[in-house]
Structure 1
């Protein structure tokens, strides 16, 4: 079984012919968040993914096997909710409420996409959005989620939070005391949580 252990950085452009010849590896979002994975290429070959921890693969990424062969990542179609709204403010409110729940969301020009969830679908409809269940590739924002489903309790989230809080303090002064021991990566403190979502 071949081991795939490198991703070519997106800014490095490969010859189109090499990309075309690379066998596809079709993976759903959950699988693209795992750095250790047994997977099957579209041609039926079984491979082992051993990528750096925290790697989140995107559609079109090129991976390199230990024997130097290339593999092209394809985002699989999966059951998602596509959310649209009659106006931008409704769509923005929908994104805000989803963000408050630490739900991975793909943000498009005029749509949001999230994993199928009937409870969230109901909430979104009440906000005035239209929701349809479709089968499409899912590529959520990954900044605040690191490896996917840690729901905000990881280092990347804490770093994002610290940056947002620092900017907020620079602009608004230190009008509230900070407890240095406070763990910003946990979401129990509603006061801090609102700053995080309002100022990202």
Structure 2
């Protein structure tokens, strides 16, 4: 990643980004401290909540996953959750997978589909960290801002 060259090495900022914004490899964002910075990552890079980016001068920008409107389905029935994951994946929906639950960005059509399967989607606000996919590679250890 690259950040504006005007920033010094004392940069220690936080950026709160939605899942959609964390997928963008080139963008201008405003930090929690009010600074405008430019993020310039290699194509295909996904920023995750908890990532830290390093500027060319050694400053740090911490990435926080924003709370978003999501739906979560939960069940002790692994077969039912597996079917739900299959149907969501078949529609190319980004899904966050936890022990006994699935989460996706709110969509009334998807909520209805999962109700038909016997699940009850709960709508709420939470950070969204979906699976990156079988062909995605994730590393920011040497990324720069």
Q: TM-score, normalized by length of structure 2?
A: 0.83
Which protein, 1 or 2, shows the higher relative CO under an 8 Å CA cutoff with sep ≥ 6? 2
Deviating above 4 A after TM superposition, structure 1's stretches of 4 or more consecutive aligned residues are 144-147
Task: Name the counterpart of 1:124.
Answer: 114
Unaligned runs of 5+ in 1: 5-20, 148-200
For the pair shown, which has the larger CA radius of gyration, 1 or 2? 1
Aligned equivalent of 1:94 = 84
Asked whether the equivalents of residues 49 and 63 of structure 2 are also in contact (C-alpha less than 8 Å), the reply is yes
Q: Give 2:96's match in structure 1, choosing from 102, 106, 126.
A: 106
Shift of 1:143: 1.7
Q: What's the counterpart of residue 53 of structure 2?
A: 63
In the TM superposition, residue 145 of structure 1 has moved relative to its aligned partner by 7.4
RMSD over aligned CA atoms reads 1.9
Q: CA deviation at 1:24?
A: 1.3
1:44 aligns with 2:34: yes
**Other-structure match for 1:29:** 19
**Structure 1: distance between partners of 2:135 and 2:109:** 21
Deviation of 1:110 (Å):
1.2
Equivalent residue, structure 1, for 2:74: 84
Structure having the higher strand fraction is: 2
Query: Structure 2 unaligned runs (5+)?
Result: 5-10, 138-145
Shift of 1:67: 2.1
- Which TM-score applies when normalising by structure 1? 0.61
Matches of 1:144 and 1:124, distance apart in 2: 24
